[in-house]
Amino acid sequence: MSYQKAAVLMGIVLAAALQSGCAGTLTSKYTYNNNYKTNAPVKDVNCYDASILLGVDLKKAREIGERVIVAVDATLEETTETTLKAQRNRHIGLFVGSGGEELGIKLQPVDANNTFATITTKTGLVGGAGQRAWSCEIVDKMAQMAAKK
């Protein structure tokens, strides 16, 4: 095989690996509408994106988000009144490491007693090896905590 053919083949393999390795995004496809039921999670099929109408005010919703981020072994990296960005802590395994996923929670006050939240997961280049989507687990924990008030 010539060097030119080998280089083209290598480029195709690298492009395929890069495309398949990253998954999810920190931008949610969900927006608030009146069809949401309080404390009932809405999830995408792969758990990279989820949303919920929490039956709590913005301050309590933010506290719940912070507690859940810590509960899934992540570290908050950036916070505002309505946004939480975190990264899961990395762990070294026998063959492959885990962690490093980027997590995002965006909060939107609906009224004095309800807050709409979107939860997103973004995996990195090694997404298929040791990383996973966390949005479903996070939204479920947020629903449980909001229901307890």
* pLDDT tens digits in sequence order for the chain, 149 residues long: 566 665 555 555 444 444 444 577 789 999 999 999 999 999 999 999 999 999 999 999 999 999 999 999 999 999 999 999 999 987 665 545 566 789 999 999 999 999 999 999 998 765 456 688 899 999 999 999 999 96
Q: Is 1 inside any structural domain?
A: no
pLDDT in the model for residue 15: 47
Q: What long-range pairs does 26-31 form, CB within 8 A, spacing at least 24?
A: 26/85, 26/102, 26/104, 26/120, 26/122, 27/120, 28/104, 28/106, 28/118, 28/119, 28/120, 30/118
- Please provide residue 118's backbone torsions phi and psi, each rounded to the nearest 5 degrees: -115, 140
Render 84-109 in DSSP notation, one character per residue: EEEEEPPB--SSS-B---EEEEEEEE
Distances (CA, A) of 111 to 18, 55, 79, 90: 42, 10, 21, 38
pTM, rounded to two decimals: 0.80
**Does residue 31 sit within a domain?**
yes
Domain assignment of residue 57, yes or no: yes
- The pLDDT assigned to 25 comes to 76
141, part of any domain = yes
140 class by beta-carbon count within 10 Å (0-12 exposed, 13-18 middle, 19+ buried): middle
Look at residue 17 in the predicted model and tell me its pLDDT.
42
Please report the pLDDT score of residue 124 as a whole number: 76
Query: What confidence score (pLDDT) does residue 24 get?
Result: 73
State the pLDDT at residue 131: 80
CATH, residue 80: 3.30.310.220
Instruction: Say how far apart CA 98 and CA 94 lie, in whole Å.
Output: 10
Tell me the residue range of the domain where 128 lies: 23-148
**Any domain includes 16:** no
pLDDT for 100 equals 78
Residue 64 forms part of a structural domain: yes
Query: Residue 63: what residue type?
Result: E
CB atoms within 10 A of CB 63: 13
Domain count, the chain: 1
